[in-house]
Chains A and B, each alone.
Chain A
Amino acid sequence: MLTESEILRYSRHLLLEDVGEIGQQKLKNAKVLIIGMGGLGSPAAMYLAAAGVGTLVIADFDQLEVSNLQRQIGYQTADTGSDKVKLMKQRLNSINPEIIVRCINRKMDAEQLSLELMMVNLVLDCTDNMHSRHLINAACVQAKASLIVGAAMRFEGQLIFFDHNQSDAACYHCLFPKSEEQVLNCSNSGVIGPVVGTIGTMQALEAIKYILGLPSGIKNRLKLFDGKTLDWQTFTVTKDPNCSVCGQKK
């Protein structure tokens, strides 16, 4: 049952046939882990908090730097030097005091990650490096945790959903096999703020749809966003039976 203040707060959701009171209750019961509180994670977390996702677990071990503020619009200049997760928890609770926000303020290893995955319905990968992305992917495959991956750099974005609950789910390693090669990230290549914000916002949209039980347009489908033309390209990703992370031959 929603309280009177929740009915007022979520009135624009309650008007939607796809949400309604039942959907809002699903959002309230949901627990989402968001890893990375940068340009992807901060808008994703803010939208999910505003939408009434009942429990948000936010993970990051960085302190806010002035160079983050060009794109990470959830933060203030006066807060540089403070822990991002503490700042974001305050921000999320000021957006919506009706939800629970828990912080993880350290680098998680595979073991801690697998414990955290047991306590949530959904994971958003909003990290900024390949090592974390492969660690999160492997843990989600093992825990059969649903994973929405976003990434952005320069004027480009990438978005995909792996529903590891389902046996036909591909994984991040099927798409981009782990390698020691240097890949592109925001600190070595730069990024334009609204592109990373768009991808983080799409991760929040897909998270809400997943919680509501609506079909996803990005399940096993990689979306590439071009911030210059505003075109989206779609590619189907099939589970690789030879994948060393999710395949039969692992």
Chain B
Amino acid sequence: MNVIVNGNIFEIAPNSRIEGLLKSLDKPLNGSALAVNGEIISRTKWAEYRLCEGDNISLFQAIAGG
């Protein structure tokens, strides 16, 4: 199935969980947050949260500067 990650279409196995997607993205996750269709999914749920076809995923880092 296809999902959108930061604007790019990405093919993943059906019923993939967030954790699986992140493994296949192979991106550093330092202080990152992740949202599915505009809702932040807390890190404690990444292992169990199942993605659906067409989900729009935003992955971004915390910034601390000020």
Contact = CB atoms under 8 A, between A and B. Distances in A.
Interface of A: 36, 38-41, 125-130, 133, 150-153, 156-158, 174-177, 179, 181-187, 189, 191, 196, 199-200, 222, 224, 233-238, 240, 242-243
B66 A41 contact: yes
B15 interface: no
A191 B65 CA distance: 8
A128 B43 contact: no
Interface in B36-52: 38-40, 42-45
Nearest to B40: A237
B38 A183 contact: no
B10 interface: no
Contacts, number: 101
A133 B31 contact: no
Interface of B: 30-31, 33, 35, 38-40, 42-45, 58, 60-66
A183 B28 CA distance: 11
Given A133-B64, A185-B64, A240-B42, 12 more contacts: A40-B66, A128-B65, A130-B64, A151-B66, A175-B33, A183-B30, A183-B31, A189-B65, A235-B40, A238-B42, A240-B44, A240-B45
B4 to A, nearest CB: 14
7 contacts: A127-B66, A158-B63, A184-B61, A200-B66, A235-B40, A242-B42, A243-B44
Contact of A196 (B33, B35, B43, B65): B65
Contact of B66 (A128, A176, A235, A242): A128
Task: For the complex of A and B, list the 6 residue pairs with the smallest distance between their C-beta atoms, beginning with the closest.
Answer: A186-B65, A240-B42, A153-B65, A176-B62, A181-B30, A40-B66
A133 B65 CA distance: 10
A179 B30 CA distance: 8
